[in-house]
Amino acid sequence: MGLAGLAASAFLSATLLPGNSEIALVAFLYQWPNAMVAALLVATLANTAGSLTSLMLGRMAPRKELSPRVEALFARWGSAALALAWVPVMGDAIPLAAGWLRLPLWRCIVWLTLGKAGRYLALAWSMSWMIKH
């Protein structure tokens, strides 16, 4: 699989297409535990790029009403809501909504990256802890 496979899985996982980036990261780290930094960087950047693709698609979408739940999320948290774009089910909709709302791009990139990096760091740390114990 290697880093290219991890990148493909991470990118697809952040779009509406199916992908299992968490499984790919764990499998990669199991095979190459010494490449943790590279794996975390690749997974984070590719997953962020996938979400940015969704965000850009949202910017191109015609204006319609958002669900009250999504509107409330952005009304309260703004761009910071993108830190939750990794959450299963609702996470894929957050970048689309952010794009549709035309939130500031640089803030979106920062929050997306922080959320995705945090998730992958927690996963890698958990895996390394379980292997040691």
- How high is the pLDDT of residue 133? 67
pLDDT at 7: 96
Sign of CA dihedral 53, 56, 60, 61: positive
Q: pLDDT tens per residue, the chain (133 residues)?
A: 699 999 999 999 998 777 789 999 999 999 999 999 999 999 999 999 999 999 999 999 887 777 787 778 788 889 999 999 998 878 888 999 999 999 999 999 999 999 999 999 999 999 888 777 6
User: Looking at residue 45, what is its pLDDT?
Assistant: 97
Whether 105 and 48 have beta carbons less than 8 Å apart is answered as: no
Q: How many CB atoms lie within 10 A of CB 32?
A: 15
Burial of 80 (0-12, 13-18, 19+ CB in 10 A): middle
CA pseudo-torsion sign 90, 100, 74, 106: positive
Query: Long-range CB contacts (< 8 A, 24+ apart) of 56-65?
Result: 56/99, 57/96, 57/99, 58/95, 58/96, 58/97, 58/98, 58/99, 58/100, 58/101, 59/99, 59/100, 59/102, 60/99, 61/96, 61/99, 61/100, 63/100
To which residue do tokens 């500031």 refer? Answer: 104
**What's the confidence (pLDDT) of residue 1?**
66
Q: What is the pLDDT of residue 131?
A: 75
Helices (H), the chain: 2-13, 21-31, 36-60, 68-77, 93-100, 105-132
